[in-house]
Amino acid sequence: MKPNDKKNKTSESKNVREDKVIFNLDKETQFSDWFTEIIKTAELADLRYNIKGFLVFQPWSVLAMEAMYDYFERDLQKRGHKPYWYPALIPKSNLTRESEHVKGFVPEVFWVTEHGNNEKLEEPYALRPTSETAFYPMFSIWVRSYKDLPFLTYQRAQVWRYETKATRPFLRSREFYWIETHCGFKNASDAYQHVLGDMQTTERVMHQIFGIPFIFFQRPQWDKFAGADNTFAADTIMPDGKIIQQPSTHMLGTHFAKAFNEKFNDESGQEQLVYNTCYGPAISRMFASVISFHGDNKGLRFPFEIAPVQVIITPIAAHKNPSVNAKALQLRNQLFDTGLRVEVDSSDKMPGEKFYYWEMKGVPIRIEIGPKELDKNVVMLYRRDTETKTEIKEKDLLNAIQKNAFELSANLRKQADQKFENVIRDAKDRKELEKIVNDRGFCRCNFCSINLDGARCAETVEKEIGATVRGKRIDKDEKPFGTRECVICKQAAGVVVYIGKQY
């Protein structure tokens, strides 16, 4: 070893510490490159699996998404949903039974047609693109009476769709991880109340816990789920101004009940069709929004509740006092026993290197302890969101973590909400609409209709402006404003819609 090796190592650590930008990329102005680099640097996924559109999810994303699954499933179970595990294969005869559904999904299906030594199966099987045609044939067996309703189910599952557009990890791929609920009701009113409950679940979990802001829209008739009467979907927007759909919930009506003979006897003994709803929180796509909304130029920032590691303990100058490592492990075990996800970084890296690494990984709280802290029975608590340090008495550590965890998650959510509000702007005519969507904005404007008679104007928006009509808000009854004319055709507007570019 050369005499100046130690000096060089210290200098390198200092440089890493002062460099606040990953590979000199700014998230807000170079989002696409930033997103690609953080996936690689933080080891969220490996893209080198040799099938296009498929990736290997690595532990740092899996741990976060497992926590995300848990929050959604607890909420669904509290509402009365029961978990099921359905086969990944759906017979072609099932998939093609509902006419609108088959038109919407068959172009995206992966088909399984052979087994063994190139022997043909009795019929082709679809690798599950969505599960309506798997669930509802079983509903027709299980649901016999009004006493069986409502029938509330869900499953945690993967789905596969042959996406023909450009794929992006977590955002748009050919295999993604989600939850899907499938439910049956006596009438349309009960079904719609449940759909409203799905929207509330999205608010409680995706917004309040994950910190992802959104607007729930009623989708236009030309953009509803294949086989539904109406579709309602939560949209959010990424730093590059592109919209990403998050959970959607659907009023399926009796379309699938007719196709799969879902019937029940009502209170008077008369046979009736079941009304179905379904809801699809895509966990892997929500994870993309988590890292994109909360991340910064130093890397990831996780809400405390879903962080893969919630607390990292970094011993400092342990070579000067072996008791430092022992104390770090003691604290780790105490915190672990309270249910926290906590680790100790006892590597021989310089302190600055440790700090930078765990900040890049998005760990919400760091606990530093060295000989000085050991002597005083204190630790230093660092918060990733504010980048501040506070001296905490060792006996008060758990309470301090809990307090700061709550504040950190609330702060990330507040920052995300402010960003989201700032990208929504009004347009009174087509020129302003084009300027807003090309300037990474989410445009609110007058539109003729979201029924089929508005499809021609929507086609103009898509082909000539490169954007899509997302629909009308569910949480507000917005009336046409200003000239009250459709921004495209100049006819009298019947609705206020939101328009933007999408992934």
DSSP state, 311?
E
Give 428's pLDDT tier (boundaries 50, 70, 90). very high
| Confidence tier at 16 by pLDDT (50, 70, 90) | very low
pLDDT of residue 98: 87
- What is the structure's pLDDT at 376? 96
Residues 6 or more apart whose Cβ sits within 8 Å of residue 184: 139, 143, 148, 149, 150, 151, 257, 262, 274, 275, 276
198: Cβ contacts below 8 Å, ≥ 6 apart: 181, 232, 247, 249, 277, 279
Nearest residue to 105 via CA among 125, 128, 83, 122: 128
Q: Does residue 8 surpass a pLDDT of 50?
A: no
pLDDT reported for residue 100? 87
Q: What is the DSSP string of 345-396?
A: --SSS-HHHHHHHHHHTT-SEEEEE-HHHHHHTEEEEEETTTTEEEEEEGGG
pLDDT (tens digit per residue) in 375-402? 999 999 999 999 999 999 999 999 999 9
Give residue-wise pLDDT tens across range 31-55: 999 999 999 999 999 999 999 889 9
CA neighbor of 95 nearest in space, from 130, 67, 61? 130
Q: What is the pLDDT of residue 17?
A: 42
- The 8 Å CB, 24+ separation contacts for 343-348 are 343/309, 343/311, 343/312, 343/313, 344/312, 344/313, 344/314, 344/315, 345/312, 345/313, 345/314, 345/315, 346/315, 346/318
Structural domains of the chain, ranges and CATH numbers in brackets: 45-293 (3.30.930.10), 304-406 (3.40.50.800), 424-500 (3.30.110.30)
pLDDT for the residue numbered 404: 98
Query: In angstroms, rounded to a whole number, what is the distance separating the alpha carbons of residues 482 and 496?
Result: 11
Provide, rounded to the nearest whole percent, the portion of the chain with pLDDT above 70. Answer: 95
pLDDT at 266 over 60: yes
Residue 471 vs residue 173, higher pLDDT? 471
Q: In which band, very low, low, confident or very high, does the pLDDT at 23 lie, cut at 50, 70 and 90?
A: low
Mean pLDDT of 224-233: 96
Mean pLDDT for the chain overall: 93
pLDDT grade, residue 5 (50/70/90)? very low
Does residue 473 have a pLDDT over 80? yes
Q: Which two tokens stand for residue 437?
A: 């969507």
To the nearest 10 degrees (0 to 180), the angle between helices 397-422 and 323-336 is 70
Q: What is the pLDDT of residue 13?
A: 36
pLDDT value at 2 more than 60:
no
pTM tops 0.75, yes or no: yes
State how far the alpha carbon of 336 is from the alpha carbons of 38, 315, 344, 365, in Å. Answer: 28, 17, 11, 14
What local confidence, expressed as pLDDT, does residue 22 receive?
A: 55
Note the pLDDT of residue 15. 36
3 state SS for 430-489: HHHHHHHHHCCCEEEEEECCCCHHHHHHHHHHHHHHCCEEEEEECCCCCCCCCCCECCCC
Residue 330 has pLDDT above 90, yes or no: yes
Q: Which residue, 276, 277, 304, 302, is CA-closest to 291?
A: 302
The length of the chain in residues reads 503
- Give the residue with greater pLDDT, 470 vs 18: 470
Count of CB atoms situated within 10 Å of the CB of 205: 22
| Sign of the four-CA dihedral 450, 456, 458, 459 | positive
Confidence of residue 25 (pLDDT cuts 50, 70, 90): confident
